[in-house]
Structure 1
């Protein structure tokens, strides 16, 4: 059997890693489609650049020292009694200190500018969406439109979306990589998040927190459409005749896997607040 040369194996491995890296950038946090995702990408790249400013010289210095002080180099000076150098101490401590200050500044500014409850600046009025993580699916309630959907979130392009999020059972995590800001959902508590899609398209969302047997199928799609298409979708949804009240919600909240998207044409007013204020484990107890 013909053996592949070692250098050829290295080239093949390098090509495979490059292809995998490029393929991974086709969607996700490095391909944002909203202001929040774009700002998070900027923070990521800035932080990476600052860290590389110390990592790359350190790697090069390590290789350079190893090469210079090799056994065959007669010019390298061996100084066994060397103890202290103020210049070296200054360099060793000042560069990491500057890196920490810069990274801390980026984190400080970013944490305030991208605070999840902070409303996005826009002339458009935000669309309100109430999110409930269930076993193992997502419920999206539009309180102003009076409709709801399961495992499909339809939003108008260029309009901020103001989320209130909770969980029926265990803690979960709401994440749309191309729009930004992963945030947790917890039973009996309300989290807040603001996002916006700048371009029409289908953006995958999923649960980033393991929550049991059906976790792998706990995915949804964000469908960013024009304002007119969003209004048409609302009207079509209202005409489907399916109603979401507490009784139908209890059926919906029962564990199920890989649920196909569907909608509710009407929603009981204040249902989200009733879900938040229910006793923990009410579905399991039959309350």
Structure 2
């Protein structure tokens, strides 16, 4: 087989693989690359920048590799010189060390900038709402401390309003993810991690648990429905109506038992429930419960916060302030 024919065959298979990967998405969108909010948009831009910077190294390496394989192939008609003796080349050393260092420095700058920016609310001009997220076996519970309502396996939010999620788990560690609105963040027992998300426009978005937690973890999916503020307020009123039950401690104990669950809405829930869940596994340490509490929650949480403040806070327990743990990145 001639060298040119072999090269053509290699090129054909490379293009075939690329086409199969790229065209497999036709007819549907790559949700991670389809941002619907400012957090997801920032992360999307970081993905693009990272891809370009990595391509500056990867593409030349692939091209040079293909050239070397072709140029120095073992065939009878190949006249490429064989030079087993190598000598140090200062210019080449400078090039192949300087370029990667510069690229890593640029990538590090953009990564650090966006990571710290995403810790804060994406819209400082609009007051965020707070939603507490609890990962259970195998379901998601959402409590709205300012509205005093709770839902299971679905979530409604106002469009154009930042949402501060505070996450914990009453069971195995999980990862909360709404791909079109932002990246993942862990929900861990004994800790309250934090992330901001925002939907720019009304719509319905897919949410899921992105961490393996047992046999029914695949059922930990939920809908995020973004509505205009007026429609969201109307939904809150309907949720608080007598048609929906009030969650009691006994109801929660039943809910937390391993098993799947249908969509549920509760017109009220026990005050301080989320704080109790966090403190249950915190072993006497403050799991970052005293920071950024909603105004309506402060009085009801004084007892829980007081017991936490008496204990020594371990360095690093505030996982929401650690850029490396913020999966919205």
Q: With structure 1 as the length reference, what TM-score do the two structures score?
A: 0.87
Larger displacement relative to structure 2 (166-175 or 61-70): 61-70
CA deviation string 1:208-262 (max 9, x = no partner)? 11111110101111001111110111011111240012121111111222x2211
Q: Is the 8 A contact 1:173 1:183 kept in 2?
A: yes
User: 2:152 aligned with 1:172, yes or no?
Assistant: no
Aligned residue for 2:84, secondary structure, equals: coil
Q: Is the 8 A contact 1:245 1:271 kept in 2?
A: no
Correspondence for 1:97: 101
Q: Is the 8 A contact 2:118 2:196 kept in 1?
A: no
Correspondence for 2:49: 46
How far is the alpha carbon of 1:23 from its aligned partner? 5.0
> In the alignment, which of 228, 231, 236 is matched to residue 229 of structure 1?
231
CA deviation string 1:181-216 (max 9, x = no partner)? 211111121111111000111111111111111101
How far is the alpha carbon of 1:153 from its aligned partner? 0.6
Correspondence for 1:196: 198
Correspondence for 1:249: 252
Looking at structure 1, the residues matched to 67 and 16 of structure 2 have their Cα atoms a distance apart, in angstroms, of 28
How far is the alpha carbon of 1:266 from its aligned partner? 1.4
Looking at structure 1, the residues matched to 88 and 125 of structure 2 have their Cα atoms a distance apart, in angstroms, of 61
Looking at structure 2, the residues matched to 143 and 188 of structure 1 have their Cα atoms a distance apart, in angstroms, of 19
Aligned residues: 269
Looking at structure 1, the residues matched to 191 and 87 of structure 2 have their Cα atoms a distance apart, in angstroms, of 58
Q: Is the 8 A contact 2:244 2:265 kept in 1?
A: no
RMSD: 2.2
**Any stretches of 5+ residues in structure 1 without a counterpart?**
1-5, 281-287
Aligned residue runs from structure 1 range 1-287, under 5 A:
15-23=19-27, 26-70=29-73, 71=75, 72-74=77-79, 76-115=80-119, 118-239=120-241, 240-257=243-260, 259-278=261-280
Q: Is the 8 A contact 1:152 1:222 kept in 2?
A: yes
**Any stretches of 5+ residues in structure 2 without a counterpart?**
1-8, 283-329
